[in-house]
């Protein structure tokens, strides 16, 4: 069944000029970009988006990083796009993400911290619908 996922291109991806490359990979896989915008996150949006991580040691640095520059938000649609985009993105840490993935090919934080891993992708139908509501209304 066709489904939707929320994709965020994080400030490192936008600043490094990788927006087109990341969107190209999504479309090349056959997913449809249903919504797309460049925006600057608000603290309120990030508190909602990353609520599951509140209290973890990486939470505040992650939020500060996400506020540091413009991001691109997109809704991608297609058969199995929720796990499919996470597969395109690769593992969370760019230093161990597999070659062929967005984080593995393009991620450059070299283990110091994993927050600069270029993209976010929803991890379930419930989180996708919740997250799409945060960034698109």
Are residues 1 and 115 in contact, defined by beta-carbon separation less than 8 angstroms?
no
Which residue in 68, 87, 95, 115 binds ligand YYY (CB under 6 A)? Answer: 115
Which of 62, 71, 102, 134 binds ligand YYY (CB under 6 A)? It is 62
Burial class from Cβ neighbours inside 10 Å (0-12, 13-18, 19+) for residue 50 reads middle
Give the contacts of 73 (CB within 8 A, at least 6 positions apart): 6, 7, 8, 9, 35, 36, 37, 39, 135, 136
As measured in angstroms, the least distance from the Cβ of 37 to ligand YYY is 20
Q: Is 53 a catalytic residue?
A: no
The only residue of 8, 76, 114, 132 in contact with ligand YYY, by rule CB under 6 A: 114
Query: Contact between 92 and ligand YYY (CB under 6 A)?
Result: yes
Per the DSSP assignment, residues forming a β-bridge with 2 are: 79
- The reply to whether 137 sits in an annotated binding site is no
**Residues near ligand YYY (CB under 6 A):** 53, 58, 62, 92, 113-115, 117, 120, 123
Could you give the residue numbers annotated as active site? 120
């Amino acid at each position: 069944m066709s489904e939707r996922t929320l994709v965020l291109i994080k400030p490192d991806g936008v600043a490094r000029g990788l927006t087109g490359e990341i969107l190209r990979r999504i479309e090349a896989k056959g997913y449809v970009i249903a919504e797309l915008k460049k925006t600057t996150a608000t603290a309120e949006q990030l508190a909602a988006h990353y609520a599951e991580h509140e209290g973890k040691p990486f939470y505040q640095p992650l939020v500060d990083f996400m506020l540091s520059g413009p991001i691109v938000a997109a809704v991608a649609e297609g058969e199995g796009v929720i796990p499919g985009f996470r597969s395109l993105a690769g593992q969370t840490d760019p230093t161990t993400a597999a070659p062929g993935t967005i984080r593995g090919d393009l991620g450059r934080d070299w283990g110091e911290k994993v927050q600069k891993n270029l993209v976010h992708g929803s991890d379930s139908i419930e989180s996708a619908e919740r997250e799409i509501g945060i960034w698109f209304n």
